[in-house]
């Protein structure tokens, strides 16, 4: 069992896990083949790590610099516009979540004067069959190691307030809520402590 950078052969496994774990989110509602294209568009532009267990890819983490991930989303959207619009058209409530998902739109930080972090953990998921076995934690550690290499000093992530398990997981992992919106908790984790004055 190991964690490594994802390659094109892992994309199908990542798409399967994403579809199974985020069935209500815009990308999760797309056909699996389109989810695979979404992650393929992110491969060269972001940090995409997989955990490989006995039966293959059973967990992944995706994140990186917002600007680069946005470029991947734009490319994905432009090359798959027809199928994306079709998915939105048959499910109108998806339009708003699609705009957020594809543009990387985030709530303005009204509760903090600090600018939002440049680096984000966008998605973390493990197969249900291996949930609670420590894979989520090691994927977060590997993600932090990978972004430290890029000299990131902090990163952000947001979690839907209804996702109790993920909230408990992140809090157990030492994350603290920085702010909240109507639907989400937003976390910022500093990787480098400021030197005490």
Q: Closer to ligand COA at the Cβ: 72 or 136? A: 136
Q: Closer to ligand COA at the Cβ: 85 or 145? A: 145
Query: How near is the Cβ of 145 to ligand COA at its closest, in Å?
Result: 16
Query: How near is the Cβ of 81 to ligand COA at its closest, in Å?
Result: 26
Q: Using CA atoms in the order 45, 163, 97, 89, what is the torsion angle rounded to 10 degrees?
A: 110
DSSP-derived secondary structure letter, 151:
T
For the chain, strand residue ranges (E) read: 2-5, 47-53, 56-65, 119-126, 154-160, 177-180, 184-190
Query: How near is the Cβ of 9 to ligand COA at its closest, in Å?
Result: 21
Residues of this chain that bind ligand COA (CB under 6 A): 21, 123-126, 131-137, 159, 163, 165-166, 168-169, 172
Q: Closer to ligand COA at the Cβ: 16 or 83? A: 16
Give me the residue label for tokens 């790590």.
49
Query: How near is the Cβ of 123 to ligand COA at its closest, in Å?
Result: 5
Q: Closer to ligand COA at the Cβ: 81 or 176? A: 176
Query: How near is the Cβ of 136 to ligand COA at its closest, in Å?
Result: 2
Beta bridge partners of 61: 49, 124
Q: Closer to ligand COA at the Cβ: 83 or 106? A: 106
Instruction: Report how far residue 43's alpha carbon sits from residue 62's, in angstroms, rounded to the nearest whole number.
Output: 9
Length of the chain: 197
Instruction: Report how far residue 39's alpha carbon sits from residue 75's, in angstroms, rounded to the nearest whole number.
Output: 11
């Amino acid at each position: 069992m190991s964690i490594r950078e994802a390659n094109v052969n892992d994309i199908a496994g990542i798409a399967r896990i994403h579809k199974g774990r985020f069935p209500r989110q815009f990308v999760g509602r797309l056909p699996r083949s389109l989810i695979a294209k979404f992650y393929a568009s992110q491969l060269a532009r972001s940090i995409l790590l997989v955990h490989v267990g006995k039966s293959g890819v059973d967990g992944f983490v995706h994140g990186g610099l917002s600007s680069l991930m946005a470029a991947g989303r734009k490319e994905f959207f432009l090359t798959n516009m027809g199928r994306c619009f079709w998915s939105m058209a048959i499910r109108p409530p998806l339009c708003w979540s699609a705009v957020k998902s594809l543009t990387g739109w985030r709530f303005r930080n009204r509760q903090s004067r600090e600018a939002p972090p440049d680096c984000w953990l966008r998605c973390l998921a493990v197969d249900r069959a291996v949930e609670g076995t420590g894979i989520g934690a090691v994927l977060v550690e590997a993600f932090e190691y990978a972004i430290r290499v890029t000299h990131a000093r902090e990163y952000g992530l947001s979690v839907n307030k209804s996702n109790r398990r993920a909230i408990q997981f992140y809090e157990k992992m030492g994350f603290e809520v920085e702010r909240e919106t109507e639907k989400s908790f937003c976390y910022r984790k500093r990787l480098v402590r400021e030197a005490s004055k």
